[in-house]
Amino acid sequence: MLDEKKIKKLLKEMYLISLTTVPDEVLQYLKKIIINSDNSRERSIAKIMLENASLAEKNRCLVCQDSGLPVFFLKIGETNPLILRLARLISDVVSQVSLEIPLRCMAVDPITRKELRDDNIGVGVPILHWDIDPKFSGIEIISVPKGAGSGSWGRIKIFTPDAKREEIDKFIIETVLRAGSNPCPPVIVGVGIGANFDEVPKLAAKACLRGLNTPHPETRFKEWEKELFSKINQLGIGLMGLGGENTALAVNIEYTYTHKPWLPVAVNLQCWPDRKATLRIYNDGSYELFKGARLDG
């Protein structure tokens, strides 16, 4: 069993990785554009994005100056004494990194707009999403700093159960259209369907977390994702809203069953750097620390 000092060191490293790297699948996506696109403006932008990602990772500096609100997705496998201390350890690490780099303080009172402290800690911040998964033999923490560029453009709507598929598609695609160049496209479009008002945005966030090349295991949603992906790219918004066929990095849908009288739908947009990093601590004391996130485990 790892001691608290070691765990804190790993958490800090995970948070730093999520701020200073871009997942490999996004880098691959950009390389493909550089090789295949016949749009010279798009190729130039993709080259700049790639160069920045490489520089940030090599020099351990921020990918984006908007280090975002600190958000963490936690998966707990079994009862583990660490659970009681994880929230505090994560707060400590966010505070430390915020003061050391230093990061801009992004956590403010929603009414006064004032920071509580210098270090991105506030009432309810860092944001922690807890999940219990009895099949998982350890603890997984994914750091997903959420910036305002893309974070400002999510939407939720409660449709009636007889809403046509076309109405829902229109809502999803319109969310990307109205965001335009603002969320730093190409974006991951995360769609949540079902559940209720409080849970459906979380489904959309989890959908974003799946990243690229992760079609839904159910054919009906896999097909729907493919169709939305094609239609969104047909809008031609492109990299940084400057045109081209690559507006969406991916479209992912997550669903749960829902209540008979309603059909909630939420859309979450994730900007092109898709910043995230994962720490897994297994019950035998071994661990994995990597940029991005994986569905296995």
Partner 1 sequence: MAEYKLQIPLSDEEVRSLKLDDIVYLTGNVITLCYSWHFRKVLEFLYNKKQPPMKLMGGVIYHCPGGFRKKGNRYEIKFVGSTTSSKFNLYTPDLIRLGSIKAVIGKGGMDLQTLRAMSEFGAVYLATVGGCSALYSCKVDKVVRVYWPQSHWANNVWELRVYNFGPLMVTMDSFGNSIYEEIMENAKRKFNNMFPQ
Which residues lie closer than 8 Å to 81 by C-beta, 6 or more apart? none
Nearest approach, Cβ of residue 53 and partner 1 (Å): 8
Query: With respect to partner 1, which residue has the nearer C-beta, 138 or 145?
Result: 145
Interacting residues with partner 1 between 265 and 284 (CB under 8 A): 271-273
Q: Min. distance of Cβ 85 from partner 1 in angstroms?
A: 30
Whole-angstrom CA distances from 5 to 59, 73, 132, 253 are 25, 21, 24, 38
Instruction: For the sheet with 287-291, list strands across it.
Output: 127-132, 71-76, 138-143, 277-282, 287-291
Q: Tell me, residue by residue from 225 to 264, as one string, x for binding to partner 1 by CB under 8 A and - for no binding.
A: ------x--xxxxx-xxxx---------------------
Which of 41, 129, 157, 206 forms a contact with partner 1 (CB under 8 A)? 41
1 scored as a contact of partner 1 (CB under 8 A): no
Interface residue with partner 1, options 133, 174, 218, 227 (CB under 8 A): 174
Number of residues that bind partner 1 (CB under 8 A): 50
- The pairing of beta strand 71-76 with beta strand 127-132: parallel
Name residues contacting partner 1, limited to 50-79 (CB under 8 A): 51-52, 55-56, 59, 61-66
DSSP character at residue 238: B
DSSP letter string, 111-170? TT--BSSSSS-BTTBSEEEEEE-TT-SEEEEEE--B-HHHHTT-EEEEE-TT--HHHHHH
- The piece of 8-16, 85-93, 125-133, 165-173 that touches partner 1 (CB under 8 A) is 165-173
For residues 20 and 56, the answer to whether their CB atoms sit within 8 Å is: yes
Residue 187 touches partner 1, criterion: CB under 8 A = no
d(CA 75, CA 56): 28
| Among candidate residues 264, 276, 108, the one with its CA nearest the CA of residue 172 | 264
Question: Which position among 2, 80, 87, 104 is part of the footprint of partner 1 (CB under 8 A)?
Answer: 104
The amino acid present at 160, given as its one-letter code, is T
Residues of this chain that interact with partner 1 (CB under 8 A) are 40-41, 44-45, 48-49, 51-52, 55-56, 59, 61-66, 101-105, 115, 118, 148-149, 152, 166, 169-170, 173-174, 177, 180-182, 184, 231, 234-238, 240-243, 271-273
